[in-house]
């Protein structure tokens, strides 16, 4: 008999049948009597003042009920307390192409769309900022008046003594790495349905109920209360099934607030669902990031110092920006390798593009690409195997890193070992034919941020459990299942702890009226934090059951064992319990006595004369209810003080109660004629502490490796003067089944001392290692070092041609070495097209600078 009966076994997600039959309801599948449809008018200009909005023609259209504008809800909000810079609809300015200007509420989507065309908005265009390095120097035409130089936030951290560290190094490598912008593109477009109830006392609209595709129901409730000036207790947020989030639904997205404002204006329930193009504008994805990185290593392969300057192109609003720029530094410097000296300069810059926010592997991915690529270069420089150099820089936990991160369980050494073994690294590395190569990368991630967004002593998760007389367990959790399987995780932990079968457990999740506060599904916190809260709630209930069962069995409650729907006295049956056959008989019998249990305890008591040594789960539950009167329990979780990080400014981001680890090997081939990179296989070893549900862990690891693969090879948001060139799933080039390689997931279980049953995160940590693993494999295959992601055929070809003799070089890139981009561009496209794009906006700062130098080209287009 294994140690556990429910966890550690592959089980189907508890909500999977609803998904495979189409019966499960996502927000856009909901409707209400009298429900109207909202459509949002978006800005066509990247930066402009709104002179006036005339909606009279739209309102005159048959079937249009209301038009909401910024003045209807001018209160500012934002996911971070330091970043309240958004309004539901633009109040005086628009700040990106796609910014929200007005919302039409109509009887059907078609009428609403027609009405959008009838709204007349007069704009006064302003000079726009597209390039973060330009934007950082802005003196006028600021995106937000309160942010000089369009600087959202900058941090300058020094840990140890980098100057001494670099002096000790035998070799120092410097380079600039660029990772272009990517977005979540979750399959479900965002959707919100908002409805007011009429208050019977006042007769006026009272309570508000919002169904929304969100990862953070509690924060949505909080922001709605700010914007609508209603107490949170009057707002109920319900999360139906969510069709993927990846961070794109981890903050309050404009439509969620707009739907509520529109419902208030229209005096009717309003549903707004984004089109796919609007999802791309809503964005909140991973910012384009420039990393200037410097690493010093000794001849023995020890890292002596790292210095990084990171610039993130954050878009027009703060969003999660301050956290993103801090994550980039905190996890670059800490908790993966032993880095004694570390300097970090991070700049989060505002530009006139959709806001970037949190995306799977929040903040860490692009910096990890730079670091792991550079570590490979360092290994090459000192003539060391890339696997070996990683093994020489391991941490020795338990420890606290130089930037204050506490590390306990640490499965990285085993991840590296397993992945090298499975991929045949030692036998095959360096022996593959030209054009084919192997590369390794490592990464890690937090299992929940140790400090919540809104600083307080509130527990991060609270869970309630209720058990009825028939032995049905209901778990009330605020955890938001977005497809990662948190409902299943909660059910497994409750069933394992209470010793009952999974089928007894029903999970009620993410409904702010029913479920206690949980701060949401982000930073991979749910298994660790909500899992711990569930564990504690279940233990509280279990204590009550054990106490009552002990009285019946004439033993002490410590001797009561609950397992497999059976409760027994350890003194009589030991730890293993009544034999398997007997156990089956008890379970069968338990079905028979069910009716009696429902009729009440008198018959039940009569049926069980005298003391006994074993009971069914139902009998124990009935005994507990008879004894205590009611059977329920609560549990909560807050990270321990010692895991909350250092004392410096910005130290709040990065600390976590536990870190997950990943090591990956990619095998690629590069076609030197076409520049096409084919990934044949990826081996991914992930340390998730303990795999509560191995099939779900594999799914999460494979899914994040695959998403990283998309960012490495194809996915990229391409901008031209603030306009997104590829706002569709085909153009965005998310890999299809035909293009996706085999990914072998190797689960490493380090069993964390504080995780629920030792579990840590599994959904994000694996993403970051893929990109450098592929970059390193490309270098192994054809000897080119790609420092800009994604590794598209254009970039690969340009780099390959850069290797060839001068005479054969085709100057596609116009004297720019695409592998070493020196300047930043306003669009994420290939450097080949620099300066040859369509005409610029008349007020583009770049044109003004040229005009000042006296060689202004005549603008062809006033962009109005």
Partner 1 sequence: MKKLLITLNVNGRDVEFACAPNQTLLDALRLDLALTGSKRGCDDSSCGACTVEVDGEPMLACTLLAAACEDRRILTVEGIAEHGALAAIQKAYGEWGGAQCGFCTPGFMIAVHSLLARNPDPSEDEIRAALGGNLCRCTGYNQMYQAVKAAIDAEKAGRRAF
Catalog residues that contact partner 1 under the rule CB under 8 A: 10, 12-13, 15-26, 28-29, 184-189, 241-246, 273, 275-276, 482-485, 695-696, 698-699, 702-703, 705-707, 709, 728-730, 734, 736-738, 740, 742-743
To which residue do tokens 């893929």 refer?
770
What element of type H or E holds 551?
A: helix 531-553
End-to-end CA distance of the chain: 73
User: How many C-alpha atoms does 678 have within 13 Å on its Cβ side?
Assistant: 10
Shortest approach of partner 1 to residue 679 CB, angstroms? 12
How distant, in Å, are the alpha carbons of 364, 422, 746 from that of 442? 12, 15, 14
Shortest approach of partner 1 to residue 403 CB, angstroms? 33
What span, in angstroms and rounded, lies between the C-alpha atoms of 176 and 483? 36
Which two structure tokens, joined as six digits, stand for 644? 């909350």
Going by C-alpha positions, the residue among 786, 785, 788, 748 that lies closest to residue 765 is 748
Q: Which is nearer to partner 1, 154 or 277 (CB)?
A: 277
Q: Which is nearer to partner 1, 234 or 740 (CB)?
A: 740
Which two structure tokens, joined as six digits, stand for 283? 């964005």
Q: Which is nearer to partner 1, 276 or 864 (CB)?
A: 276
Shortest approach of partner 1 to residue 485 CB, angstroms? 7
Shortest approach of partner 1 to residue 724 CB, angstroms? 15
Q: Which is nearer to partner 1, 393 or 740 (CB)?
A: 740
Q: Give burial (CB, 10 Å; 0-12/13-18/19+) of 696.
A: buried
Beta bridge partners of 436: 669
Shortest approach of partner 1 to residue 350 CB, angstroms? 28
What element of type H or E holds 742?
A: strand 742-748
Q: What are phi and psi of 848, to 5 degrees?
A: -65, -40
Contacts of 666 (CB under 8 A, 6+ apart): 438, 439, 440, 441, 679, 681, 682, 770, 773, 774, 776, 777
Q: Which is nearer to partner 1, 243 or 689 (CB)?
A: 243
Q: Which is nearer to partner 1, 184 or 236 (CB)?
A: 184
Q: Which is nearer to partner 1, 63 or 802 (CB)?
A: 63
Q: What Rg do the C-alpha atoms of the chain give, in angstroms?
A: 29
Ramachandran assignment for 454, one of left (phi > 0), alpha (psi -120 to 50 degrees), beta (any other): beta
Q: Which is nearer to partner 1, 21 or 815 (CB)?
A: 21
Shortest approach of partner 1 to residue 280 CB, angstroms? 11
Going by C-alpha positions, the residue among 688, 807, 733, 777 that lies closest to residue 445 is 688
Shortest approach of partner 1 to residue 848 CB, angstroms? 38
Q: Which is nearer to partner 1, 277 or 292 (CB)?
A: 277
Shortest approach of partner 1 to residue 773 CB, angstroms? 15
Q: CB neighbours (10 Å) of residue 25?
A: 12
Shortest approach of partner 1 to residue 579 CB, angstroms? 29
What element of type H or E holds 288?
A: strand 288-297
Q: Which is nearer to partner 1, 180 or 484 (CB)?
A: 484
Q: In this structure, are residues 214 and 225 in contact, taking their beta carbons and an 8 Å threshold?
A: no
Shortest approach of partner 1 to residue 731 CB, angstroms? 8
Shortest approach of partner 1 to residue 439 CB, angstroms? 19
- List the alpha helices (DSSP H) in 26-108: 56-60
Which two structure tokens, joined as six digits, stand for 208? 């508000």
Q: Which is nearer to partner 1, 14 or 553 (CB)?
A: 14
Crossing angle between the packed helical segments 254-266 and 217-228, to the nearest 10 degrees = 50
Shortest approach of partner 1 to residue 741 CB, angstroms? 9
Q: Which is nearer to partner 1, 280 or 337 (CB)?
A: 280
Q: What are phi and psi of 560, to 5 degrees?
A: -85, 125
What span, in angstroms and rounded, lies between the C-alpha atoms of 35 and 2? 53
Q: Which is nearer to partner 1, 251 or 698 (CB)?
A: 698
Shortest approach of partner 1 to residue 3 CB, angstroms? 23
Which two structure tokens, joined as six digits, stand for 639? 């990270």
402-433 burial string, b = 16+ CB within 10 Å, else e?
bbbbbbbbbbbbbbbebbbeebebeeebeeee
């Amino acid at each position: 008999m294994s140690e556990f009966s429910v966890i550690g076994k592959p089980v189907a997600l508890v909500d999977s049948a609803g998904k495979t039959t189409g019966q499960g309801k996502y927000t856009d599948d909901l409707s209400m009597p009298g429900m109207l449809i909202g459509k949002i008018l978006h800005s066509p200009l990247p930066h402009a003042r709104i002179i006036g909005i005339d909606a009279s023609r739209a309102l005159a259209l048959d079937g249009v009920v209301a038009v909401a504008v910024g003045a209807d809800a001018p209160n500012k909000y934002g996911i971070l307390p330091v970043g309240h810079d958004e309004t539901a609809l633009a109040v005086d300015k628009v700040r990106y192409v796609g910014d929200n200007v007005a919302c039409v509420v109509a009887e059907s989507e078609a009428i609403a769309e027609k009405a959008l065309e009838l709204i007349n908005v007069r704009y006064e265009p302003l000079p726009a900022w597209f390039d973060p390095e330009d934007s950082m120097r802005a003196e006028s035409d600021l995106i937000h008046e309160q942010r000089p130089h369009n600087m959202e936030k900058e941090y300058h951290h020094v840990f140890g003594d980098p100057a001494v560290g670099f002096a000790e190094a035998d070799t120092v490598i410097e380079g600039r790495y660029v990772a272009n912008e990517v977005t979540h593109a979750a399959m479900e477009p965002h959707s919100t349905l908002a409805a007011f109830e009429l208050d019977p006392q006042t007769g006026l609209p009272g309570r508000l109920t919002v169904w929304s595709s969100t990862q953070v129901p509690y924060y949505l409730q909080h922001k709605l209360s700010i914007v609508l000036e209603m107490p949170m207790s009057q707002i109920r947020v319900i999360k139906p099934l969510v069709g993927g989030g990846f961070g794109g639904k981890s903050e309050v997205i404009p439509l969620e607030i707009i739907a509520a404002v529109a419902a208030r204006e229209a005096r009717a329930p309003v549903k707004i669902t984004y089109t796919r193009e609007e999802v791309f504008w809503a964005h909140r994805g991973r910012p384009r990031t420039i990393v200037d990185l410097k690493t010093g290593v000794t001849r023995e392969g020890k890292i002596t110092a790292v210095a990084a300057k990171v610039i993130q192109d954050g878009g027009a609003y703060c969003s999660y920006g301050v956290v993103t720029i801090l994550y980039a530094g905190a996890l670059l410097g800490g908790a993966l390798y032993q880095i004694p000296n570390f300097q970090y300069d991070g700049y989060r810059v505002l530009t006139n593009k959709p806001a970037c926010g949190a995306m799977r592997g929040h903040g860490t991915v692009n910096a990890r690409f730079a670091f792991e690529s550079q570590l490979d270069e360092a290994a090459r420089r000192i003539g060391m195997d890339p696997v070996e150099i990683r093994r020489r820089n391991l941490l020795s936990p338990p420890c606290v890193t130089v930037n204050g991160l506490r590390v306990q369980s640490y499965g990285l050494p085993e991840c590296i070992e397993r992945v090298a073994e499975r991929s045949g690294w030692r036998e095959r590395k360096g022996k593959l034919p030209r054009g084919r190569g192997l590369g390794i990368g490592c990464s890690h991630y937090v299992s929940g941020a140790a400090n919540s967004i809104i600083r307080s002593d509130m527990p991060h998760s609270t869970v309630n459990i209720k058990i009825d007389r028939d032995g049905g367990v209901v778990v009330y959790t605020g955890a938001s299942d977005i497809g990662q399987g948190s409902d299943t995780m909660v059910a497994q932990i409750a069933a394992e702890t209470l010793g009952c079968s999974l089928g007894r457990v029903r999970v009620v999740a993410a409904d702010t009226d029913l479920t206690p506060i949980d701060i949401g599904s982000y930073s991979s916190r749910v298994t660790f934090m909500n899992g711990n809260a569930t564990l504690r709630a279940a233990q509280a209930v279990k204590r009550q059951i054990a106490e009552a069962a002990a009285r019946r069995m004439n033993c002490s409650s410590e001797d009561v064992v609950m397992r497999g729907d059976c409760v027994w006295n350890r003194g009589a049956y030991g730890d293993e319990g009544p034999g398997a056959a007997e156990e089956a008989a008890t379970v069968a019998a338990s079905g028979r006595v069910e009716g009696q249990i429902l009729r009440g305890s008198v018959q039940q008591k009569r049926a069980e004369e005298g003391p006994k040594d074993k009971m069914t789960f139902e009998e124990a539950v009935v005994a507990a209810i008879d004894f205590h009167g009611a059977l329920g329990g609560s549990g909560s979780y807050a990270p321990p003080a010692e895991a909350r990080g250092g004392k410096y400014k910005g130290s709040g981001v990065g600390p976590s109660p536990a870190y997950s680890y990943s090591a990956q090997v990619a095998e690629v081939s590069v076609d030197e004629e076409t520049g096409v990179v084919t990934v044949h296989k990826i081996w991914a070893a992930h340390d998730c502490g303990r795999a509560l549900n191995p099939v779900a862990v594999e799914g999460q690891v494979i899914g994040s490796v695959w998403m990283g693969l998309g960012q490495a090879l194809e996915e990229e948001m391409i901008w031209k003067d603030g306009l997104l060139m590829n706002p569709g799933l085909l153009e965005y080039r998310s890999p299809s089944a035909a293009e996706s390689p085999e990914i072998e997931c190797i689960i490493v279980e380090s069993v964390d001392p504080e995780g629920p049953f030792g579990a840590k995160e599994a959904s994000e940590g694996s993403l970051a290692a893929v990109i450098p693993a592929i970059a390193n494999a490309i270098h192994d295959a054809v000897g080119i070092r790609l420092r800009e992601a994604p590794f598209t055929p254009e970039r690969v070809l340009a780099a390959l041609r850069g290797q060839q003799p001068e005479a054969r070089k085709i100057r596609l890139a116009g004297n720019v070495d695409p592998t070493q981009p020196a300047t930043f561009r306003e669009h994420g496209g290939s450097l080949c097209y620099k300066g040859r794009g369509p005409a610029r906006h008349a007020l583009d700062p770049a044109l003004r600078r040229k005009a000042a130098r006296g060689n202004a080209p005549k603008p062809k287009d006033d962009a109005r």
